[in-house]
Structure formats: C-alpha cells, structure tokens
Chain A
Amino acid sequence: DAGVTQSPTHLIKTRGQQVTLRCSPISGHKSVSWYQQVLGQGPQFIFQYYEKEERGRGNFPDRFSARQFPNYSSELNVNALLLGDSALYLCASSILAGGPVEQYFGPGTRLTVT
C-alpha cells in the first residue's frame, strides 16, 4: 500500500509570493495534519482536518490556510511568504481524528523562500 505522499518535493519561492502544498493520505485515512519543521527544530503543528472540517489549528498566522477534499487529500496554502516560512512541511495522516491514533508522515515538502 502507498504511504502518505506529498508534492512537490522541493520548491523555491520569493518573498511575498503564495504557495500551495499537496498531500495524499494513506488509503482509508480520513484525517490529515500539517506540520512545519524549521531546520534544527522539532515539527510544529499547523492544522488538522477530519472529514473536510478543521479540527485543530496551531499558533500560526492567518497567512496559513488549508482545506481537505472529498477524497481526503489536502492542500496547505501560505500567502505573502516570508523568509521565516522556509522549512520542511510535513503532512501526516491517521484513521481518525480523536483518541489514541498513530500518525503516518509523508516525506515532506522542502520550501525555500528567498
């Protein structure tokens, strides 16, 4: 079975631009979470979506938004990019959104903002 997939693998953007990152969960998983991992730090929670609804949001500005589609795939959008948005963006999927669940992570999208 395919794991969590993310696209693109890498991308380079300029300050002020907008970016869209994509994630496809494991088949049968209905929950997708997004994390930002700045170099040298642990991942920071951005969003969780379950059944197309936002279930949780981390401490990120409104420039960050996301959505989940009927097939449970998800997009993360970041507007007005700043240099500090340069990071590895990780997507994780799980069967449910609540209770003791395992999250399975994708390989990430490396975003560089110049």
Chain B
Amino acid sequence: AQSVTQPDIHITVSEGASLELRCNYSYGATPYLFWYVQSPGQGLQLLLKYFSGDTLVQGIKGFEAEFKRSQSSFNLRKPSVHWSDAAEYFCAAMEGGFKTIFGAGTRLFVKA
C-alpha cells in the first residue's frame, strides 16, 4: 500500500543549528513529493516540491530537500534554524494527480 513515513514525531534543535527532517515513501513508481509546514491552528503552506529532474530542490524560507530514489527518501534540510521555524512539518506524496498521502508529521521545537 502507498504510504509516507516520517520517523521522527518531534525534533528539538537550537536556534542557528542545522536541521534535517526525514521522510520515506512507499509507492510503486516515484510519486510527486512535497513538504508542507503548518503553524498551530492553521492550514498548510507548501515549502517545496519535487516532480522530476534535479534531485536537490530549493524552497521558500531557506529550506531545501533532496530526493534519493535508491532510499525512497525526500529529506528536508535547513542550514540554520530560526525560532520562527517552530511548527509542524508534513511530507506528502501524490500519484495519479488526485490523491495526496501525508505523513504523520514532525513537530519542530526551536530552543534559544
């Protein structure tokens, strides 16, 4: 069955430190891949997407993600975290263009 796994329920990083959030997918073929961020009580904001081509994709707010087909992974990274990055992050995959499957999310805490 198609699935998206985010192994880390929550992560705490110090402000200014680097960040990597993990995401693995299980699909028959390579799906379209997304990372979203959600602040408490809010909707989802798209950070970046991978459709094809260059496996390192740049997004908004200084985030990037790398698609690795051999590992079925699409990890999100940021070189220096700001306190305003504290939020819930969701990895998602879409196949066929109509059904998006989301991971359970990773809650990011940023300590001063």
Instruction: Show the binding face of A for B, using Cβ within 8 Å.
Output: 4, 31, 33, 35, 41-45, 48, 50, 55-56, 58, 90, 92, 96-108, 110
Contacts and interface: CB of A to CB of B under 8 A. Distances in A.
B103 A97 contact: no
Given A100-B32, A100-B52, A43 B99 contact: no
Interface in B22-70: 32, 34, 36, 41-46, 49, 51-52
Contact of B43 (A33, A55, A97, A107): A107
A105 B39 CA distance: 13
Contacts of B4: 42
B104 A97 contact: no
Interface of B: 4, 32, 34, 36, 41-46, 49, 51-52, 90, 92, 96-105
A89 B102 CA distance: 14
A45 B90 CA distance: 14
Given A42-B90, A42-B102, A43-B102, A98 B97 contact: yes
B10 to A, nearest CB: 11
A45 B41 CA distance: 19
A100 B51 contact: yes
Given A105-B43, A107-B42, A98 B98 contact: yes
Nearest to B45: A105
B44 A55 contact: no
Contacts of A42: 4, 90, 92, 102-105
Given A45-B101, A90-B44, A97-B98, 13 more contacts: A41-B104, A41-B105, A42-B102, A45-B99, A56-B99, A58-B99, A92-B44, A98-B97, A100-B97, A102-B34, A105-B43, A105-B44, A110-B41
B43 A106 contact: yes
A48 B98 contact: yes
A98 B32 CA distance: 11
6 contacts: A42-B4, A43-B90, A44-B102, A97-B98, A100-B52, A110-B41
